[in-house]
Amino acid sequence: SISAGGPFYRSVLYVIQHSDRGSLAVILNDPYAEVVDELVRLRYLRPKVAEDGTPMVKIGFRRGGPVEFGGAFFIHNIDGVAGAERLQRGRRLFLNRSVGLREGGQALLAACRQPVGWSSPRERSEEPSRRGCSAAAFTSVSSWGEHQLEGEVRRGAWGWIRPEHVSADDVLDMDADRLRGSWERLIRSPNLDVFEG
């Protein structure tokens, strides 16, 4: 956000859907650890580890926005998850919608255990290494009605960075301090566009 207030003050959004009917996005730079602690306590989340002790799937939990929707969104880099939508052409960045955190996490883990397959030679050359399975989990979202987000952009509340300048690492960063500091970094980016009317 450039000048948006409330839950969007200094927020970094990833827009999942945008059309004439409305927009759907998640806030990337608002991680929260207390949810992870509670999920582990309730045994909903038991991190699976590889032989060397590293997590098989790293999941970062984030506040996606002010709208609770009773399910979970996962943005991830894991090939072969049933029902996944590719978010960026030529890059391993996918979206899954799930009825809950447990079901979504289990689907990610099952796919992460499968051998990695590349869908095209171009994809292999653009992102040559798989650094493990990572996901950002959201149980709330940000949404706008018909043409509402465009109006806010025109009023200067939001700037934007085109998808080709956003990497999977930007979206799936697991370091809470880096996430919280991403607004300061991105507001100075040469790739940031702001509407000038």
pLDDT tens-digit readout, 146-172: 999 999 999 989 999 988 888 888 899
CA distances from 96 to 26, 49, 131 (A): 13, 22, 20
Residue 142 in tokens: 């940000």
Q: Please name which of 29, 32, 38 lies closest in space to residue 8, comparing C-alpha atoms.
A: 29
- Position 88 scores a pLDDT of 87
d(CA 80, CA 83): 9
- Position 21 scores a pLDDT of 92
- Position 53 scores a pLDDT of 57
pTM: 0.80
For 1-57, how does the pLDDT look when each residue is reduced to its tens digit (9 = 90+)? 888 888 899 999 999 999 989 999 999 998 876 445 444 444 444 555 556 655 567
Q: CA geometry: angle at 97 spanning 163 and 143, to 5°?
A: 60
d(CA 63, CA 53): 28
Mean pLDDT along residues 104-133: 57
For 75-101, how does the pLDDT look when each residue is reduced to its tens digit (9 = 90+)? 999 988 989 999 988 889 999 998 888
- Position 76 scores a pLDDT of 94
Element containing residue 154 per DSSP (H, E)? helix 148-154
Are 56 and 130 in contact, with CB atoms under 8 Å apart?
Answer: no
